Homo-oligomer: A and B are copies of this chain.
Amino acid sequence: MTYFAEQNSIEAVNGRMSVDAPPRLRRVMAALVRHLHAFIKEVELTQEEWERAIDFLTKTGQMCSAERQEFILLSDVLGVSMLVDAINNRRPAGATENTVLGPFYVAGAPERQMGDNISSDGKGESCLYTGRVIDLQGRPIAGARVDVWSDNAEGFYSVQQPGIQDKWNNRGVFITGSDGKYEFIGIKPVSYPIPNDGPVGQLLRLLGRHPYRPAHMHFMVTAPGYQRLVTHTFVGDDPFLESDAVFGVKASLIAPFERVQDGRTVWRSYYDFVLAPIE
């Protein structure tokens, strides 16, 4: 019998799993243990650092509530959320890229008429969002469901301010017609800090990182026969584009936001969403 030792630690732990455990779980756990032990060995983690890690994880769990998910924030700032999103949404060239869903999506937003204004608090600079939902060949997709949401002019999503903002402020669903076009009025979104009064905020400060996300409008676009697209369009002149705290920016998602002279709105942003078929 060989007992656990520094040299055989990975084999000792993984050898304990039952051969009858679910194969995928076995594979994931074996890889987790292998990488986790390799990390500890590489940095020769001290006892005190281990204690700090236990304390950090405990506080992160205890910060979680119905309104706050600190472990998702941790995943976000370590690039894990974006990495999982990237691995699970590899698309053919030409298709619009995914980015993180984020914690502020709310299902069930009201379906609105094309051209409607989703912003009900009268704050911020108005912006006309328009473009088409098309396939890889550039053909319009009819009946696509375009679910949109953004923060308000103070950088808060409606779910962060119940009782202050209307539940559906800066949210709405639009269904495309045969031309594939969408059009709605919202505000030009603003950059905002992710919640940073917990352990994750403390970690960011220790690492010398800021908590800001560049301004963006969220889109979830679905249509039968096509892969679900979850993405944002980013405002091109945002100072945090190159340092998004959660690594959500992709060059292809930076959209033009043009100041308009005598339109219905102060700004106008045109963006086409290209859906990839379900293979």
Residues of A within 8 A of B (CB): 1, 3-6, 9-10, 12-13, 16-22, 25-29, 31-47, 49-50, 54, 57-62, 64, 69, 71-72, 75, 78-88, 90, 206-209, 242-243, 247-251
Contact = CB atoms under 8 A, between A and B. Distances in A.
Please name the 8 residue pairs, one residue from A and one from B, whose CB atoms are nearest each other, closest first: A61-B61, A18-B208, A13-B79, A4-B247, A35-B39, A6-B86, A35-B35, A50-B84
Given A31-B43, A32-B39, 20 more contacts: A3-B242, A6-B90, A9-B247, A10-B79, A16-B209, A17-B208, A31-B42, A32-B78, A33-B78, A36-B80, A37-B80, A40-B87, A47-B84, A47-B85, A47-B88, A54-B71, A57-B57, A57-B61, A58-B69, A59-B61
Contacts of A19: 208
15 contacts: A4-B249, A9-B79, A13-B247, A17-B208, A20-B208, A25-B206, A28-B45, A33-B78, A35-B38, A47-B84, A54-B71, A54-B75, A59-B61, A61-B62, A62-B62
B57 A71 contact: yes
Chain multiplicity (copies)? 2
A83 B40 contact: yes
Contact of A79 (B4, B62, B250): B4
Contacts of A62: 61-62, 64
Contacts of A5: 86, 250
Given A71-B57, A87-B6, A80 B20 contact: no
* Secondary structure dominating the interface of A: helix
Contacts of A59: 61
Contacts of A85: 47
A6 B39 contact: no
Nearest to A208: B18
Contacts of A37: 79-80, 83
Nearest to A4: B247
Contacts of A209: 16-18
A101 B141 CA distance: 63
